Structure 1
Amino acid sequence: MEFEGRVAVITGAANGIGRSCAELFIERGGSLVLGDIDLDEGLKLQAELGDRALFLEANVRDLAAIQALAAKAVNHFGGLDILVNNAAVALNGAVDEIDEDRWQTVIDTNLTGFWRAMKACVPHMRERGGGSIVNMSSVQGLRAFKGWPAYAAAKGAINALTVQTAADLAPAGIRVNAVAPGTIMTPMNEKIFAAMDDPSELIDRWNKAHPIGRFGYPNEVAETVAFLASDRSSFITGEILRVDGGLAIKGD
């Protein structure tokens, strides 16, 4: 029950990694305010998790909506201790092919959305005398994958933002770390597979790219997020922790 008495805000909570984080935090005693644009799945998750979880429809591209998440945590549960910055979109296209609208959608969601959430939540953490922020990065912020410049740019910037804010917020007792997953079987990746003429070929290729020989699963990432959010990692800040089955170390 390591999160008993702790209150977390999780963005992108309705599906995939965010959902697994929510389930694990509840299991370990936490109280949650969950944000997502998927109203139906968000309300289902709230019902499943019980009275220590509240869901609000929220788009991380809207600062007021994210401020409402933070305010709900304080007003309903009495404070805010943890932020899991998870909401993201995946839009591909080579640098000379992707249009400006798609580029800006990725950057505004995957990078600026993280800043909005930190801007909204950090003042409440200061009032509590500390806290923990976990940003969802990606191995794509560390190495190249053909055709994903906007996504890679956003995730690489998240790594830099994590290190910078970790230094800035350390005197306030707020730790900031990031998790960099490899390929994880989430609804986002399932949409990518569905758009392929031969998804089995892509799935097989992505499996082989990981030395462990398979995709990861959301609960495996959630365990790492929980570690970084908890007192078990009390002397860790500014870290980019890969959860990637060895993807980033593969030499061929």
Structure 2
Amino acid sequence: MRLGGKIAVVTGAGRGIGAAIAEAFIREGAQVIIAERDETTGAETAARLGDNAFFIHTDVTDQDSVDTAIAETLARNGGIDVLVNNAGINVFHEPLATTDDEWARCMAVDLEGVWRMCRAVLPTMLDQQAGSIVNIASSHASTIIPGTFPYPVAKHGLLGLTRSLGIEYAAQGIRVNAIAPGYIETDLAVEYWNTFPDPAAERRRTYDLHPPKRIGKPEEVAMTAVFLASDEAPFINATSIAVDGGRSVLYHD
């Protein structure tokens, strides 16, 4: 069991990549806190995953909610070995069409929410002199696609946060890394394809953008998170691993 005995908190674990990470962690022996804002999906995922999953309502935009969730986790489990910051939202606009509210909404979840969670768990990890933080970034953290502002700004910032914390606390046994997923076949992706007149054609077009002629699965991101959270990666710190089938290094005209 690669995560046997570890206590993990996974934000945004009610569906999609977060739920896949929670499931993989439990399969590998961890106890997992489903830290989710949506009470319905959070409770349903915890119930589906069984006795080693526990749902705690968590809004990463609210420091009081974050602090309460971490305090409840510590009271229940006695420690936190792994934090996966998966909660995130897509905010895509042309820059000058971005309102102050949309900018603030994106930053509050995709960047500041990650910092709130890190700030809440780091004292415990420092006391333990051990811990692994895994931040779910994006291919937008290294590439820019027009019309997706300000999402890549937040994700570039997330890489800076990952590197800064990883260097700051490395000597105290804490590793901080990121995963940068590309296009992943989540329910949200399927819902997006279904907005087109020919969903199958749009799916095929998306597949053809990638060297393997398919896109990623949530489980493939999840197993990368298992590796980074495990004792198999003790010297991997302050870096980001792309899970995108090679698209980010593909030559484009």
TM-score by length of 1: 0.95
Partner of 1:35: 35
* Alpha-carbon separation, structure 2, partners of 1:139 and 1:62: 26
C-alpha displacement of 1:203: 2.9
SS in 1 for 2:3: coil
C-alpha displacement of 1:195: 4.4
* Alpha-carbon separation, structure 2, partners of 1:225 and 1:180: 11
* Alpha-carbon separation, structure 1, partners of 2:178 and 2:16: 17
Partner of 1:47: 47
Residues 49-102 of structure 1 deviation map (CA, whole Å, 9 limit, x = unaligned): 222211012111011111222222211111111000000001211101122211
Query: % of aligned pairs identical?
Result: 36
Deviates more, 1:193-202 or 1:76-85: 193-202
C-alpha displacement of 1:158: 0.7
CA contact 2:11–2:85 (8 Å) conserved in 1: yes
- AA at the equivalent of 1:15: R
* Alpha-carbon separation, structure 2, partners of 1:187 and 1:113: 23
* Alpha-carbon separation, structure 1, partners of 2:132 and 2:159: 16
* Alpha-carbon separation, structure 2, partners of 1:231 and 1:158: 24
Partner of 1:92: 92
- AA at the equivalent of 2:244: D
* Alpha-carbon separation, structure 1, partners of 2:146 and 2:190: 18
Partner of 1:249: 249
* Alpha-carbon separation, structure 2, partners of 1:206 and 1:81: 37
* Alpha-carbon separation, structure 2, partners of 1:145 and 1:52: 40
Partner of 2:8: 8
C-alpha displacement of 1:201: 4.8
Please, what is the CA RMSD of the aligned residues? 1.4
SS in 2 for 1:231: coil
Q: How does 1:61-140 map to 2 (within 5 A)?
A: 61-140=61-140
SS in 2 for 1:233: coil
CA contact 1:60–1:114 (8 Å) conserved in 2: yes
* Alpha-carbon separation, structure 2, partners of 1:62 and 1:194: 33
C-alpha displacement of 1:9: 0.6
- AA at the equivalent of 2:22: A
SS in 1 for 2:97: coil
CA contact 1:33–1:69 (8 Å) conserved in 2: no
1:199–1:97 CA distance, 2 compared to 1 (3 A) = farther
C-alpha displacement of 1:108: 0.8
Runs of 4 or more consecutive aligned structure 1 residues displaced over 6 Å after TM superposition: none
Partner of 2:190: 190
Aligned length: 252
SS in 2 for 1:51: coil
CA contact 1:90–1:188 (8 Å) conserved in 2: no
- AA at the equivalent of 1:121: V
Give ranges in structure 1 of 5+ residues lacking alignment. none
Partner of 1:207: 207
SS in 1 for 2:245: coil
- AA at the equivalent of 1:148: T
Partner of 2:173: 173
- AA at the equivalent of 2:19: R
Partner of 2:147: 147
SS in 2 for 1:34: strand
C-alpha displacement of 1:189: 2.8
SS in 2 for 1:8: strand
Residues 162-212 of structure 1 deviation map (CA, whole Å, 9 limit, x = unaligned): 111100111211000000011001233334334455544543332222111
